[in-house]
Amino acid sequence: MTTDQLPLALQMCPFSPTLEEGLRGLVEVVRWDMLDTDAQAAFLNDRGAKVRAIATGGHIGCPADLMSALPALGLIAINGVGVDKVDLAEAARRGIGVTNTPDVLTVDVVDLAVGLTIDLLRGIAAGDRFVKEGRWTSAERPLAHRVSGRKFGIVGLGRIGRATADRLAVFGPVRYTGPSAKDVAYDFEPDLLALARWADVLVLTCPANAQTYRLIGTDALDALGPQGFLVNVARGAVVDEAALVEAITHDRIAGAALDVFENEPHVPDALRRSEKVVLTPHVASATIECRKAMAEIVLGNLQAFLDDKPLLTPVT
């Protein structure tokens, strides 16, 4: 089958080479993110009615206006777990399947959450810069903080939150909050502010939705307090970034480790400059092993859709 005979699909962002190659074997791919505004409008006018599928990342999803402009759209395949950037109700109304890549990210996201926690308290990245910049010959690093014995509060005990709790329980006591209590060994704290007051380290692993939008604001940060640390591997929208900048700048919390941001890839200068903040560029799932497994799921869902078979990982 030639390229122009394949079903038409939009690709919303760069993917791993494995996934991009696999997509080209199943569909005719149009790189939506590489078209300027005029080219996007021209494409929709000429070929929008033929688009059958969208392959996208959880941080991008599918804009509502784009979804409405694609009458033949039947699948939105997300390379990730987040579904907050897709109007699920509208997709369901139109019979558009939405899939993501659950489970395979868990190990790697938790690895990073624990790594960020250790780095934040022990100053590993800061120590690396200290040595490489030649400062060790004339100065000493300030003392860091012990990880063992700390109290860890988990916000959101889904797959990733539960696995994070299991890992951090090796270091110290764990409590969690969320919409409801789970059948787990950890204590449930229904009040976010009470959890923040109790915790030494507050770790965010909750989904981004209307209920969690800017959940961590001034009140939660003040409850965490000047000796408390924040770790976010969830979504940037879960944190009120302006409130976090204020808390960091005025020493109202001890520090933060962030893998996600409100306006990625843009990060406030105050966070980038602060020695109290550890930053990574949304790489929690960025391992060779994880991206390979994610690609297999995305391609499996796309193949199932094209074959009119049940989707592998439908979002319900």
pLDDT in tens, 165-205: 999 999 999 999 999 999 999 999 999 999 999 999 999 99
pTM for this entry: 0.91
For residue 232, what are the β-bridge partners?
204, 258
Give the pLDDT confidence score for residue 1 in this predicted structure.
Answer: 55
Residues 6+ apart with CB under 8 A from 60: 12, 13, 33, 85
Residue 4 has pLDDT above 90, yes or no: no
The size of the chain, in residues, is 316
Under 8 Å between Cβ of 83 and 61: yes
CATH fold for domain 106-279: Rossmann fold (3.40.50)
Which positions are catalytic?
Answer: 235, 264, 282
- Looking at per-residue confidence, does 2 or 306 come out higher? 306
Q: Which two tokens stand for residue 112?
A: 């990073």
Closest to 14 (Cα-Cα) out of 286, 315, 305, 235: 286
pLDDT tens-digit series, residues 83-113? 999 999 999 999 999 999 999 999 999 999 9
Q: How far apart are CA 114 and CA 265, in angstroms?
A: 23
Query: Which stretches within the chain are classed as H helix?
Result: 17-26, 37-47, 64-68, 88-94, 106-122, 124-132, 159-168, 192-198, 218-224, 241-249, 269-273, 288-306
Give the pLDDT confidence score for residue 5 in this predicted structure.
Answer: 85
Q: Domain residue spans in the chain? A: 3-102+289-306, 106-279
Instruction: Count the neighbouring beta carbons within 10 Å of the beta carbon of residue 310.
Output: 10
Residues 6+ apart with CB under 8 A from 62: 12, 54, 56, 76, 85, 86, 87
Q: Which two tokens stand for residue 68?
A: 């409405």
Superfamily covering domain 3-102+289-306: NAD(P)-binding Rossmann-like Domain (3.40.50.720)
pLDDT tens-digit series, residues 109-155? 999 999 999 999 999 999 999 999 999 999 999 999 999 999 999 99
Give the pLDDT confidence score for residue 236 in this predicted structure.
Answer: 96
